[in-house]
Structure 1
Amino acid sequence: MNKKHKQNRMSYRTKSDRYMRAWTMLVLALCLLTVPAFAAGSSDPLTIVNNLSDFIFSCIRAIGIIILGWGIVQVGMSVQSHDASQRTQGFLCLFGGLLIAFAKEILTLIGVV
């Protein structure tokens, strides 16, 4: 075994050892520095389910507002470029975003939620 081959082999081992040490330190830091999250003081399961429902519907509302904004951008770009198919896509995206953004109110109105 020549000296160059031995040196390359040794540097590979030290590189992998360094990566392994860094990975181990990262995992240990994450394990030691995490804080457990405890539930709120209420033990009523209905309150917990309602809070989860509100959280999920707020996430859905945020997605709907993003889609609504993208639909407005598409309609604006279609008006500027005089593209009828893009305008149709923009209006579909706009109305879909409105429908998603107000999903909870619509479901409450028809009596599902």
Structure 2
Amino acid sequence: MIQNLKKRKETCKQPMERKTRRGLMLYTVLVLMMTVGSTTVFATNDPIAVVNNLSEFIFGLIRAIGMILLGFGIVQVGLSLKSHDPSQRANGFLTLAGGIIITFAKEILTLIAG
């Protein structure tokens, strides 16, 4: 039992081509520029408007994170199809589904709340 604890499994990163990495970086920067750069929060005398503006800003950040996860999930699924790795494919689809859920979190919450 102690010998089993001493053995550590080594994990290694999956290789990502330079072109793929650049594409992912460009996608991330574009998503952040579209969501964070275009969001403005105006302060008014109405406290409800301030809370609504802050809520829109926070949901904009959450949407940006969701889009990044969505793009990363697409890249993972693509790489898994190339390498024929079923576990990486499953992780890619899970990341893809999580990215979709996070991207549309505000709409999901409004549907639940009514």
- What is the TM-score with the length of structure 1 in the denominator? 0.62
**Cross-structure match for 1:70:** 72
Amino acid at match of 2:53: N
Q: CA deviation at 1:80?
A: 0.5
Deviations 1:32-69 (A, max 9, x none): xxxxxxx9562000000000000000000000000000
- The structure with more helix, counted as a fraction of residues: 1
Whether the 8 Å CA contact 2:80–2:86 is kept in 1: the answer is: yes
Question: Equivalent of 2:49, from 47, 50, 54?
Answer: 47
**Cross-structure match for 2:31:** none
Distance 1:55 1:105 in 2: 15
Whether the 8 Å CA contact 2:43–2:50 is kept in 1: the answer is: no
Q: CA deviation at 1:76?
A: 0.2
SS of residue in 2 equivalent to 1:53: helix
Question: Equivalent of 2:83, from 81, 84, 92?
Answer: 81
Q: 1:45 to 1:89 in 2, by over 3 A?
A: same
**Cross-structure match for 1:103:** 105
**Which runs of 5 or more structure 1 residues have no equivalent in the other structure?**
1-38
Q: 1:40 to 1:58 in 2, by over 3 A?
A: closer
**Would you identify which runs of 4 or more consecutive aligned residues in structure 1 move more than 3 Å?**
none
RMSD in angstroms over aligned alpha carbons? 1.6
Distance 1:89 1:40 in 2: 40
Sequence identity (%): 64
Give matches, 1:25-44, under 5 Å. Answer: 40=42, 42-44=44-46
**Which runs of 5 or more structure 2 residues have no equivalent in the other structure?**
1-40
SS of residue in 2 equivalent to 1:97: helix
Q: Which of structures 1 and 2 has the bigger CA Rg?
A: 1
- What is the TM-score with the length of structure 2 in the denominator? 0.62
